[in-house]
Amino acid sequence: RTEQAASASIAALTVIDRQQIERSQAQSVPELLQRVPGISLVNNGGPGKSTALYMRGSNSNHVLVLIDGIKVGSVTSGGADLQDLSVELIERIEVVRGPRSSLYGSEAIGGVIQIFTRKGDGQGTKPFFSAGYGTHDSYQGSVGVSGGAGNGWYSLATSSADGDGLNVKTADASGYEDDSDGYRNLSGSLRAGYHFDSGLELDGSLLQSRAHNDFDSVSSKRTSGFAANADSEQKVVGGRARFSPLQP
């Protein structure tokens, strides 16, 4: 897993930085990634519902997803829960299309998606805030601060989303229930680091997301399965130490 400049890469590479994320006005990571060439997504009904990602025709479990360098995946669907990641907590996304198993292992048959959370630049304190409201009583808000001084830097942010959701099934569909299927999400991230004069650099990160989903799961005889819902949680903790004593 060697670092190299984007211009020097021989693979099909797309980098989405913080400025592009804000200009896109995307409300979710799947909505942001569906604009990348070679990627297609299948959503199971409205915001927050299970979303499968396919890259260049490969299976959804053949795309490696990394968050701050840590491999992530779902124990139920097999793929990463991209629908539960808040775009407000993300600094940039790097997408490499095509087989990269020689560097990342067998899970990178279709490609690699690297997600990096917000990172301070060490040049003073920079707070940020966002809020939004939409149809179906959907709310969204985020608040955070990043910055640092000298050789140290930090970033702390939290984001929340809530909505009544959509009724995506028709009356003749299996498991139909005449209601809207809502979604709630609360996420937070913390990242900090310090570069010592000796050439040692320490970097740590934490990302946690909790979500609640309502869905239709009524039995064929309509005797059970009403008000079905699921709660999910994902937590990514990582740390890194780098020592470069010969740097000028």
Query: Do residues 189 and 160 touch, judged by C-beta distance below 8 A?
Result: no
pLDDT confidence bin for 241, thresholds 50/70/90: very high
Query: Do residues 92 and 42 touch, judged by C-beta distance below 8 A?
Result: no
Query: Is residue 75 over pLDDT 70?
Result: no
Distance of alpha carbon 13 from alpha carbon 65, whole angstroms: 15
Query: Is residue 6 over pLDDT 70?
Result: no
Q: Which whole number is the average pLDDT over 64-81?
A: 82
pLDDT above 70: percentage of residues in the chain: 92
What pLDDT was estimated at residue 150? 84
pLDDT tens for residues 20-46? 999 998 989 999 999 999 999 998 877
Query: Is residue 4 over pLDDT 70?
Result: no
Distance of alpha carbon 178 from alpha carbon 19, whole angstroms: 41
Q: Which whole number is the average pLDDT over 149-160?
A: 93
Q: What is the mean pLDDT of the chain?
A: 88
Q: Return the higher-pLDDT residue of 179 and 141.
A: 141
Cα first-last separation, the chain: 24
What pLDDT was estimated at residue 176? 86
Distance of alpha carbon 78 from alpha carbon 62, whole angstroms: 10
Print burial letters for 106-140: b (CB count within 10 Å at least 16), e (below 16).
Answer: ebbbbbbbbbbbbbbebeeeeeeeeeeeeeeebeb
pLDDT tens for residues 96-122? 998 888 888 888 899 999 999 998 877
Query: Do residues 164 and 184 touch, judged by C-beta distance below 8 A?
Result: no
Using CA atoms, how far residue 115 sits from 112, 129, 175, in Å, is: 10, 21, 35
Query: Is residue 133 over pLDDT 90?
Result: yes
